[in-house]
Chain A
Amino acid sequence: EVQLVESGGGLVQPGGSLRLSCAASGFNFDNYAMSWVRQAPGKGLQWVSAFSGRGGSAFYPDSVKGRFTISRDNSKSTLSLQMNSLRAEDTAVYYCAKGTGSATYHAFEIWGQGTVVTVSS
């Protein structure tokens, strides 16, 4: 069974840092693009970052570029998101999502259960 399990969420002060992790199982992790997608309370979905498969690259929207860093450890089938300089508007449920292929330009076919990040003083 394909499964994604996120962890690492919590309460952090503005300007602080947090590292999220996503443990993947049930598929050949190396071969697939992986993304982080967030959802602020009562709001819609927003793509946060992606790392393409097969030794590819990382991509970010302008809203997090320079503050967030996505990485992947293919030997451990783990995806991570290092979040620095956090702002109140980063408060959201963060989902890990598996792409349907190795390139970033794919649908998200499997989603984790999400981990909650709250940025507040």
Chain B
Amino acid sequence: EIVLTQSPDFQSVTPKEKVTITCRASQSIGSSLHWYQQKPDQSPKLLIKYASQSISGVPSRFSGSGSGTDFTLTISSLEAEDAATYYCHQSSGLPLTFGGGTKVEIK
């Protein structure tokens, strides 16, 4: 099983600050890494697919990078509406797995 380790678990950030969340895979997964945003009491929402591909309708302040085992989700300038938990997910091999999540709080 491919284990995804996210860091940090929690981040308290001031609006307009840059946010960086990392996801490390236990083995190489190429670019088969996706990022989701989940706000309280809502379903997850796809933000970035295949490490760096943007999703229609997602604000341009969200971007992804990385390949192999190390991946990053960046929010270039945090807005209040970005308060949420962020998850990475790998589709390189079965079972499909998720990272443990990173909760982003607005200071």
**How many contacts A-B (CB < 8 Å)?**
59
Chain A residues within 8 Å of B, Cβ to Cβ: 35, 37, 44-47, 50, 59-62, 95, 100, 104-114
Quick check: is B87 within 8 A (CB to CB) of the other chain?
Answer: yes
Q: Is B43 an interface residue (CB 8 A)?
A: yes
CB distance from B99 to the nearest CB of A (A): 8
Partner-A contacts on B (CB < 8 A): 32, 34, 36, 38, 43-46, 49-50, 55, 87, 89, 91-101
CB within 8 A of B43: which of A62, A100, A111? A111
Which interface residue of B45, B50, B55, B94 has the most chain A CB atoms within 10 A?
Answer: B94
CA distance A105 to B90 in the complex (A): 9
Contact B94 A111 (CB under 8 A): no
Besides A59-B94, A107-B91, 9 more A-B contacts (Cβ < 8 Å) are A45-B87, A46-B98, A47-B95, A47-B98, A62-B95, A105-B93, A107-B46, A107-B50, A108-B34
Contacts of B32 in A (CB 8 A): 105
Cβ–Cβ contact A104 & B43, under 8 A: no
**Docked CA distance A37–B91 (Å):** 13
Q: How far is the CB of A57 from chain B (nearest CB, A)?
A: 11
Contacts of A113 in B (CB 8 A): 43
B35 to chain A, nearest CB (A): 9
Residues of B within 8 A of A35 (CB): 96
Q: Please state if B91 and A106 are interface contacts (CB–CB under 8 Å).
A: yes
Pull 22 A–B residue pairs with CB atoms less than 8 Å apart, ordered by A. A44-B100, A44-B101, A45-B38, A45-B87, A47-B95, A47-B98, A50-B96, A59-B94, A61-B96, A95-B44, A100-B49, A104-B96, A107-B34, A107-B89, A108-B34, A108-B89, A109-B46, A109-B55, A110-B46, A111-B43, A112-B43, A113-B43
